[in-house]
Amino acid sequence: MLLLEANRVVPVSRLVDALWNETPPATAKSQVHISVSALRRLLGRSGAQLIETRSPGYVLRTPDDAVDLKRFEDLAAKGAAAAAEQRLQEATRHYRAALALWRGPAMAGIESRVIRVYATRWDETRLTVLEDCLDLELQLGRHREIIGELSELVAEHPLRERLRAQMMLALYRSGRQADALDVFRAGREILQQELGLDPGKELRRLESAILASDRSLDLPGGVVRGAAQEWLAATPAPHQLPAATADFTGRDQLIEQVLALLSPDGADDRARRVPVVVLTGKGGVGKTALALIAAHQLQDRYPDGQLFTQMRNGGEQPESSGWLLERFLRSFGIAPAALPAEVADQAALYRSWLAERRVLIVIDDASSVNQVIPLLPGSAQCAVIVTSRNRLAGLEGASQLEVGALDEPSGMALVARLIGRERADAEEDAVRALVELCDNLPLALRIAAAKLAARPHWRISRLVRRLEDERRRLDELDLDGISVRATISFSFESLAADARRLLMLLSLLGPVDFASWVGAPLLDCEVDVAEDTLETLVEAHLVEVRIEEDGPLRYQLHDLVRIYAVERLVDEEPTEARGAALRRLLGCWLFLTAEAHRREYGGDFSVLHGDGERWPLPEATTDDLLKDPLGWFRSEHNALVAAVLQAGQAGLDEVCWDLAMTSVTLFESGSYVDDWRQSHERALAVVRAAGNRRGEAAMLYSLGTVALTGRVHDAAREFGRALELFESLDDVHGRALAQGGLAVVDRLGGMYGPALTRYQTALADFQRVGDLIGEAHMLRDMAQIHIDWRHFDIAERFLGQAYEVCRKLGARRVTAQIEYELAELSLHRGHLDKAEETFGSVWKIAGQGGDIVGQAYALLGLGVVRSRQGLHGQAEADLEDAVNLADDTGDLLLRGRALLALAEIDFDRDKVDHAMRRLNEALGALSDLGSAAVWRARVLEMVGRLHEHEGRTDAAEQAWRAAASLAGDADPTLAGQLSTALSRVAGHVQE
């Protein structure tokens, strides 16, 4: 995106759209900022200059000749200029040089909707340049040399009349008049079938000129050598293809793939296997319609006939291969009395008849490989298209193409074609919602659109409201006996009993995606058995697979299948059995989250657990899932939040609060503040309703922790309530957690003495219960206070103790937090190189663990270091990224600190007004936080310096006195600076 818009600002919102289309994650902006920061580092010391932060996004500065698209534009422009001046040889050289820069379609392999818009424009530009070049080469008499290239281009772009005309002219000038006319006839049929149009005037005029051997088509002074082409006399054969769907929409790429795979290769045909394409997908996705569209476009390439059969033909049992062979042979004109009795002999006769012919066979709705094999020809001059709801993996040599749901634009276009463009445009948002509610499934969309077409007095939004009720959605998607429910039921009834039961139980998960292990607790069976059963659902296209780069496999039920599964679950599974399956599933969640937390922190530290029943997985499976505990938490993000809410709905209070608290490992590292707060507020309501005081105390403590980044007063209230409950329960571990939280509140408020007292109390309790990570947290926080007091040796001792504990435990994230404080210590001591190295290590560790907050603070530290090194450009880039991440995560303290550091850079550059704006923003953030007295004092100290610089002595004195009242004795260095500044002001007044 940055290269496509080189030297122009690309907004962050545009980058988010390009990366995630309409479904960005909650951390989208954060991930963009982190990616840009990482890209700058990859580019080295020049990264900050190459990629600049410019509101509202980023700009990549690069010379024009460094970008291939710009080079292509320049060369194409030179070619056009030379052509205009009749310098044809030179023009073709420029055009060919421009075209040589291409390595296939633009931005190939990138499915982003935004990128595809660019790609379409550039692909069209490339084709136009290529056509211009071919025109010149025809003028230069190179018609024979370009016939092969034109053949490929016309096959690839059958609707481009200019390419077709160029090919006709090249063939005609090469003495191949019949071939040239055949190219015209093929184009006319394609245009009529695809668009209902006749060829354009220029193409028709060229046909007439070829028929008349018009001398105007000759090269100057050239003599056209005519040649007759003999065609193999076509044996009468059936043409059984049903009519293609008139309003077929989308699928252009799939159609191109089918055409490319099934287009004959001339002399090489006999050396190849029979080309077979299998179109697989769930019922109602449009496999048959796609097969017929492709088959009609292939008719001219298989002139000896097209065969079509439906394996089920509306019945539950498939037709036998023997019966179908007999029907095919009769359609060839073979008398019934002449048909062999044995199926094997019929198949041999069938293959013999096809041996010298080009015939296309379409086999619709096959359910097994054995059904298909007898109907395959033996000659590679023929081709086969098979549609199936199952993956026919055993069909050797076949090309398997997955037919998925329509994309949103294609779904909306289909609805518009069926109900009328004007009506669809009038309620565009409702059409979009309709497409989503129909799972982008063509069958469902056709039923819904047909209802709307039959009821022109209905608003589209009316049908949308009816579909939004999941209890009646499948009822609504039923019209004259054609229904989505029947289509899903057909696939469901074909399953084995255990697969049917798993599909029903999977509906308990709701609309979230899931991992393969969930089947084990749901079925109460071994993991391998459950995974095999799940794969049968995938093969039947009732469960979708999501494959993410470098991520685990995820599965999901589309809404219509899930709703159907819920209906069958209620009908067939007793209430008690459903409840037991859900308890096992939630127990497995509880087991895995606790184990992931334990592996991340090196033990069961800094967390409380309830008495909820757990359902453990085998050790080997657990080890495989939790190789990267934080990565596992991230992959299960949505499912975990849903599990907490499900536990609450089921009234499982112990499971609910335990699962919520253990998931804080995810919420905190990924800064999923909204999910953290939502899940814990729900769990708090559940435990209060159940009278569960320990669960209530745990949720209050955790809600206090999440409040620390936004409203410190709220945090103090929640920690205080939690402490009261823990003390009444004599829960030493809980008391330590709450005391530690209140100590943070005191420290942020500048009350370092009371904070130290609380930290020491909490430290003793953590040591008493053996919570080593809790102990490390307390040592780290006490070290922060001693750093501000310039007790560097004490701070170093505390941090050393904490670091050693975390290193031995293997707690990567907490170790990185300790390293961050060590880097801060180096910064205060003036050891800038050491500080830079350690902050860089923290940034790397946080990035590997997906710790957005950790990355943000590392960027803050790096920015401060580089500012003090005089590298203001790199410092500003790092600090602006830190501000962006602070905005994304809602961390007001981080925002205030980063803005203060940026103001220092502005002041060094003598940008006083800009610096003052930054400081006012910083004060706003820290005031909203409701605490951070020391940092507010530091901001005000700098405000005073700016006022003094501008000669506003009274304003400077006012700022410094406010800073002194906030700082107290928390920061001796700051106190000294303020005292000196106030004395300086007093001396100035006295003078």
pLDDT digits (tens, 9 = 90+) for 867-882: 999 899 899 999 999 9
51-54: strand order across its sheet:
10-11, 57-60, 51-54
pLDDT given for residue 221 in this prediction = 43
pLDDT given for residue 988 in this prediction = 57
pLDDT given for residue 108 in this prediction = 86
DSSP 627-683: SSHHHHHHHTHHHHHHHHHHHHHTT-HHHHHHHHHHTHHHHHHHT-HHHHHHHHHHH
Residue with tokens 């394609």: 190
User: What tokens does 687 get?
Assistant: 């435990």
pLDDT given for residue 550 in this prediction = 63
Eight-class DSSP state of 514 = B
Q: Residue 929 burial (CB < 10 Å; 0-12/13-18/19+)?
A: buried
Most confident residue range from 243-257, 261-275, 432-446 = 432-446
What is the maximal distance between C-alpha atoms in the chain? 127
Assess contact for 365 and 288: CB atoms under 8 A.
yes
Q: What's the rounded Cα separation, in Å, for the pair 470 and 426? A: 26
Secondary structure (3-state) at 278: strand
Eight-class DSSP state of 242 = P
b vs e for 263-286, b when ≥16 Cβ sit within 10 Å of the residue's Cβ? ebeeeeeeeeebbbbbbbbbbbbb
Q: What's the rounded Cα separation, in Å, for the pair 20 and 111? A: 10
What residue type is assigned to position 944 of the chain? G
Q: What's the rounded Cα separation, in Å, for the pair 310 and 242? A: 11
Band of pLDDT at residue 991, cut at 50, 70 and 90? very low
Residue 613, CA distances (Å) to 510, 656, 685 in order: 22, 11, 21
* Backbone phi and psi for residue 845, each to the nearest 5 degrees, phi listed first: -65, -45
Residue 177: is its pLDDT beyond 80?
yes
Question: Among 663, 623, 620, which residue's Cα sits nearest to residue 644?
Answer: 663
pLDDT given for residue 493 in this prediction = 86
Residue 729, CA distances (Å) to 599, 654, 694 in order: 29, 16, 7
CA 586 to chain centre: 27
Q: HSE (CB half, 13 Å, CA atoms) of 246?
A: 3
Residue 242: is its pLDDT beyond 90?
no
Q: HSE (CB half, 13 Å, CA atoms) of 312?
A: 15
pLDDT digits (tens, 9 = 90+) for 109-151: 888 888 888 888 898 999 999 999 999 999 888 888 888 889 9
Q: Residue 178 burial (CB < 10 Å; 0-12/13-18/19+)?
A: middle
Which of the pair, 237 or 763, is modelled with greater confidence? Answer: 763
Mean pLDDT, rounded, of the chain: 87
Band of pLDDT at residue 835, cut at 50, 70 and 90? very high
pLDDT digits (tens, 9 = 90+) for 702-721: 999 998 877 888 899 999 99
Residue 440: is its pLDDT beyond 60?
yes
> Taking residues 835-851, what's their average pLDDT?
88
Secondary structure (3-state) at 342: coil
pLDDT digits (tens, 9 = 90+) for 784-829: 999 989 999 999 999 999 999 998 888 888 999 999 999 999 999 9
pLDDT given for residue 704 in this prediction = 95
Residues whose CB falls within 8 Å of the CB of residue 657, separated by 6 or more in sequence, listed in order: 610, 683, 684, 686, 687, 692, 695, 698, 699
383-388: strand order across its sheet:
306-310, 360-366, 383-388, 276-280, 399-402
Is the C-alpha dihedral spanning 413, 415, 417, 419 positive or negative? negative
The percentage of the chain sitting over the pLDDT mark of 90, rounded to a whole number, equals 41
Pairing of strands 554-556, 544-546: antiparallel
pLDDT given for residue 234 in this prediction = 33
Band of pLDDT at residue 980, cut at 50, 70 and 90? confident
Secondary structure (3-state) at 458: coil
User: What tokens does 438 get?
Assistant: 């129909």
pLDDT digits (tens, 9 = 90+) for 369-396: 888 888 888 888 889 999 988 888 888 8
> Taking residues 522-536, what's their average pLDDT?
94
Residue 48: is its pLDDT beyond 80?
no
